[in-house]
Structures are given as C-alpha cells and as structure tokens.
Amino acid sequence: MAAPIRILTAVPICDGHDSAINTINLEFIRHGIEVIYLGYHRSVGDIVRAAIQEDVRAIGISSYNGGHVEFFGEVVDLLRKRGATDIKVFGGGGGTITHDDAEAMKHRGVDKIFFAGTSLTEMTDYVRERYGKPRKRAGTKSPDVQLAWRLTEIEDGTRRSGREKKRQTSNIKHRTSRVIGFTGPGGAGKTTLIDEVVLRFLNQNSKGRIAILSHDPSVIGKGALLGDRAAMINSQNDRVFMRSMATRGQAGGLSPATHDCLALLGRSNFDYVIIETVGTGQEAMPFQKNGIVDLTVLVMNPDYGSRLQLQKIVMLDLADIVVVNKSDLQRARTAHAEIKQRLEQNRRAQRLIDTVAKRHRDPGVDQLFDLIS
C-alpha cells in the first residue's frame, strides 16, 4: 500500500479561531490523510520548523485575522531558506482572504487558497491529487532536513531491503543518546510532562539537543490526527527535534517503524531521545522489545478507578519511575498511597513521584528530571 499523505495544519500567531481547521482536520483523516496539527497562535518559525521535522507534503494554514498575504509569503520564503522547497503551502480564511489577495499569494509561492463555500470534499480531493504523487527531493545541506527525510524513508519502507533493515535494527546497540520512554493512559498528561522535562533540559544544557518521538493512534482504515505538537510550548525550539508517528495498524502504543527510527535518532547527536506512546491500557508493554529504552516512565492520573484496577496494570510491574500526575486533584493522596503499596509488592527499586505538570516550576517535575538526567 502507498504511504499515507502527511500534512501539517496550523493557525497563525494572534489568531485563536480553530473551529474551522478542526473540522477540516477530521475530514482529511476520514480520507486517509495523516494530519500533524500544530495548534493556533503559531509563528512562521514554529510552522516551518515543525513542517521540516515532520517531513510533510504540505502546510495548510487557516487564517482569519488578516495579514495573510505577508504571513503565507513568509512561510514560503523560510521554507526556501531552510532548503525545504518540496514542502508546499495552501490554506484559507473564510471571507477574510479576497480573490486579489489570493492572486498576490500565488505569486509569492502559495499553491491554493480555498474560499468560503468550498466543500470539504473539494478540499480533500485537491490535497490527495496535488500531494499524493511522488515528489522530487532538492539537494540540501540542512542536517534536520536530511534527518527528516531518512525517518520518512524508514517509516514508509522505501529503504527496507532485508539486509538494510537488519543493519538499522542492530545499530540500536551503538546509540549515543540516552533513551527515555514515557507511557500511560490517555489524558494522564504525558505530553505536558515531557514538555516541562524538555524545558529543564534546555535550561541546564545551553548546547545540548533532544529528540522526541511521539505516537498517536491511526483511525482504523483511515488517517490519523497527530496532535501532540499542539500541546508543546517549551519544545518549540531549534534544539528540539520532534517527530510525530501514527501507529498505522499496530497495537501496543508504538508504530511498526519505531524501533528503526529510534536506531537512527540514537546515533544522530542527541543527548536524549524521548519516546511517548499512544495512551495505553492494562496489558500494554510497549518498551519490552530488545532494550528499546534505558528508562521507563509510567504516567498515571489519580482517577484510575478502584484499587483492584492497579493489580491489572502490567506496566506497574515494569516501569522504573511511576508518576502520579495531576496530583493537585482531590483523590491524589489516596492514589499515591495505593500505588505505593502496589509497587512495594514488586520488590524492585522503583520510584514514585507526584507532579502537577501544568504548574510552572513544579518540584515534582524537578525531581523527575533529576532522576532522568
């Protein structure tokens, strides 16, 4: 099967209108497209950095606040400057973008502007027709561009002859990065917690680099909404390389290509590589394959149910660190006591930490970072 089309969607800085782009995102997903959603109030630099790292076919921008001719044009110009001319730009803005504006934007290098009244079917047909064909790569010296291309080749299987696939997998033993795995149920706050850990790393090491491999589920037989970037604030930094991956039909929280992508990232001059899984259930053991990580962090929230539920969560037996996030909630103290008792039964040197990831300078997150680093 052909690899899914990957596009990035975003809303410009000083524009908080996201209802239109969310509707369009869902329509794209239903038609088998993988959408990396960056969120709203995003700068030109944030959008271009994300598009390059994600190696998308195109960027779709929804703009309702004016300034679109300049904003879209600056996105195109920065893509060219960064050596990513194969990434195209399209968008729309209801009634705020006129036909004269669209003509000026076309001269700046924008592929297409959709006007008010355009059907969702017409938009998806355009994206599939325009960006579903093989693209020609332009030569570039940018390390991030080249790394993104190689990750795409691995994920799409274009480099996987038997010999090369074996070499990719074996090279995980020769990685130079420390690899940390974050897992836990959906809604526990994994992404926000990772973002706070990244902030502490950037503050501690002024020259260090960190990579994030983040996973979201594919809709069965359709595309995927890869939305972890929308929750990232501190990770919008040139020293952070983030790649979003869809599970593409594989259960357990990771993608079929995760292991090989990790092998590449682990040899790519990053101090740390952080893997975030899809929200996982009771039976999931995503990091048990061939020593894929150096340290496992299980993130939970206090509302997991009864104490009996704790006996069913396999990762409580395997995690090196267990984090009770959202520990400002009412049931947090009880949850800490119950989880502590559950971990004591394992007779392992596991650590239990309480955090409030959404709170700046949270001492629990400081403690977690100290254990990781």
Distance of CA 230 to the CA centre of its chain: 9
Q: Count H helices, E strands: the chain?
A: 13, 13
Please give the DSSP secondary-structure letter assigned to residue 218: B
Please give, one letter per residue, the 3-state secondary structure of 288-305: CCCCCCCEEEEEECCCCC
Q: Per-residue pLDDT for 158 more than 60?
A: no
Q: Which ranges of the chain would DSSP assign to H, the alpha helix?
A: 19-30, 44-54, 68-81, 99-107, 120-131, 143-156, 162-170, 190-204, 258-265, 307-312, 315-318, 332-344, 363-372
CA pair distance 197, 193, nearest whole angstrom: 6
- The pTM is what? 0.93
Contact 298, 321 (CB under 8 A): yes
Q: Per-residue pLDDT for 147 more than 70?
A: yes
User: What is the predicted pLDDT for the residue at 2?
Assistant: 76
Rounded mean pLDDT of the chain?
A: 91
Q: Any idea which of 18-27, 123-132, 228-237, 278-287 has the lowest mean pLDDT?
A: 278-287
CA pair distance 179, 294, nearest whole angstrom: 5
CA pair distance 127, 33, nearest whole angstrom: 9
Q: Per-residue pLDDT for 290 more than 70?
A: no
User: What is the predicted pLDDT for the residue at 288?
Assistant: 72
Q: Per-residue pLDDT for 1 more than 80?
A: no
Domains of the chain (ranges; CATH) run: 6-131 (3.40.50.280), 143-372 (3.40.50.300)
Considering only the C-alpha atoms of the chain, give the largest distance between any 2 of them, rounded to a whole number of Å.
Answer: 70
Produce one character per residue of 213-248: b if its CB has 16 or more CB atoms within 10 Å, e if not. Answer: bbbbbbeeeebbbbbbbbebebbbbebbbbbbbbbb
- Average pLDDT estimate for 249-272: 92
Contact 183, 315 (CB under 8 A): yes
User: What is the predicted pLDDT for the residue at 16?
Assistant: 81
Give the CA-trace dihedral at 54, 58, 64, 65, to 10 degrees: 70
Q: Per-residue pLDDT for 254 more than 70?
A: yes
User: What is the predicted pLDDT for the residue at 285?
Assistant: 78
Q: Any idea which of 76-80, 167-171, 191-195, 241-245 has the lowest mean pLDDT?
A: 167-171
Please give the DSSP secondary-structure letter assigned to residue 45: H
- CB-count burial class (<10 Å; 0-12, 13-18, 19+) for 174: exposed
Q: Of 283, 46, 286, which is closest to residue 179 (Cα–Cα)?
A: 286
Q: 322: helix, coil or strand?
A: strand
Helix (H) or strand (E) holding 114: strand 112-114
**Positive or negative, the Cα torsion across 126, 127, 131, 132?**
negative
Of the chain, the percentage scoring pLDDT greater than 70 comes to 94
Q: Per-residue pLDDT for 160 more than 70?
A: no
- CB-count burial class (<10 Å; 0-12, 13-18, 19+) for 307: middle
CB atoms under 10 Å from CB of 362, counted, come to 19
Place of tokens 């290098």: 109
User: What is the predicted pLDDT for the residue at 220?
Assistant: 78
Q: Per-residue pLDDT for 161 more than 50?
A: no
Q: Per-residue pLDDT for 163 more than 70?
A: no
Q: Is residue 95 very low, low, confident or very high in pLDDT (cuts 50, 70, 90)?
A: confident
User: What is the predicted pLDDT for the residue at 170?
Assistant: 44
- Average pLDDT estimate for 274-282: 87
- Average pLDDT estimate for 207-228: 93
User: What is the predicted pLDDT for the residue at 164?
Assistant: 46
The residue that leads in pLDDT, 163 or 320, is 320
How open is the CA angle 352-283-32, to the nearest 5 degrees?
Answer: 110
User: What is the predicted pLDDT for the residue at 349?
Assistant: 93
The residue that leads in pLDDT, 159 or 109, is 109
Q: Any idea which of 53-62, 105-114, 299-308, 331-340 has the lowest mean pLDDT?
A: 299-308
User: What is the predicted pLDDT for the residue at 169?
Assistant: 47
44-81 confidence digits (pLDDT tens): 999 999 999 999 999 999 999 889 999 999 999 999 99
Please give the DSSP secondary-structure letter assigned to residue 76: H
User: What is the predicted pLDDT for the residue at 173?
Assistant: 58
